[in-house]
């Protein structure tokens, strides 16, 4: 369908997404993967968004076999996240796609792309809490971005536990707890869903690092207790 159109099309991507859902792990992405890459690299918002969704669907159906395609997809997703000219509506599904790859592709993702993905997550975390002087629509986007980031950190923590690579995550904990605290103070009573995600993330971190004194201290700070009481 893409060859006939001589380009990646929205309708073609929608049709392929239906095939992924219908065929599950029987799908062959050896050729179609190129078109997913083209869609990610394009400046067409809808095509790139659909491609991110397809990667998420493929990850849940193919699981560890997606490790074979990380070198095709992850650099494209990283490029979307660092490209300041890319429309912000693409950033959220790109984060979701990365999270699904991290969760389902297993050790392959952790070994090769953990550090760079954490860098992008930390950069996005800092941007998401820069709320001073922003317009209403930007504030709404930043709120959505914070929720996506929290969700991705939850996935990364789960992946760290599954792959038993806690030492690689330890250096990121101080900045992560800084982000959690600032986010809790920004959201306050305005966004219960974000607070629930934060509490869940803190619980996951505490589960993975039960003997870490710093985690114990950070997990019992007053603002966390206030959030729990509010919920």
pLDDT digits (tens, 9 = 90+) for 60-77: 888 888 898 999 999 999
Nearest in space to 81 (alpha carbons), one of 66, 96, 103: 96
Assigned token pair, 202: 């803190």
Q: Residue 155: what are its φ and ψ, rounded to 5°? A: -65, -45
Q: What is the DSSP letter of 43?
A: S
Tell me the pLDDT tens digit for each residue of 177-218: 999 999 998 987 778 888 899 999 999 999 999 999 999 999
CA–CA distance, 131 with 41 (Å, rounded to integer):
29
Give me the residue spans of the domains in the chain. Answer: 1-105, 118-231
Q: What pLDDT, on a 0 to 100 scale, did the predictor assign at position 5?
A: 44
Nearest in space to 48 (alpha carbons), one of 6, 97, 5: 97
CA–CA distance, 215 with 164 (Å, rounded to integer):
17
Lowest mean pLDDT among 35-39, 114-118, 201-205: 35-39
**Alpha carbon of 101 to those of 81, 174, 211: distances in Å?**
15, 25, 29
Contact 160, 168 (CB under 8 A): yes
Say what the pTM is: 0.86
Q: What pLDDT, on a 0 to 100 scale, did the predictor assign at position 197?
A: 92
């Amino acid at each position: 369908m893409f060859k006939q159109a001589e380009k990646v099309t929205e309708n073609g991507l929608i049709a392929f997404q239906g095939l992924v859902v219908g065929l599950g792990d029987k799908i062959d992405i050896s050729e179609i993967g190129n078109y997913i890459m083209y869609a990610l690299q394009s400046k067409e918002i809808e095509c790139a968004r659909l491609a991110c969704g397809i990667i998420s669907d493929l990850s849940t159906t193919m699981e560890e076999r997606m490790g074979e395609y990380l070198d095709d997809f992850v650099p494209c997703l990283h490029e979307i996240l660092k490209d300041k000219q890319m429309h912000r509506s693409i950033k959220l599904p790109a984060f979701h796609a990365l999270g699904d790859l991290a969760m389902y592709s297993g050790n392959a993702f952790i070994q090769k792309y953990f550090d760079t993905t954490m860098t992008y997550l930390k950069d996005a975390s800092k941007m998401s809490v820069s709320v001073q002087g922003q317009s209403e629509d930007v504030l709404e986007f930043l709120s959505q971005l914070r929720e996506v980031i929290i969700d991705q950190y939850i996935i990364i923590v789960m992946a760290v536990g599954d792959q038993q690579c806690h030492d690689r995550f330890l250096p990121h904990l101080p900045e992560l707890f800084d982000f959690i605290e600032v986010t809790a103070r920004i959201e306050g009573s305005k966004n219960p869903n974000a607070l629930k995600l934060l509490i869940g993330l803190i619980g996951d971190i505490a589960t993975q690092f039960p003997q870490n004194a710093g985690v114990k201290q950070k997990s019992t700070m007053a603002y966390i207790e206030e959030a729990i009481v509010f919920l």
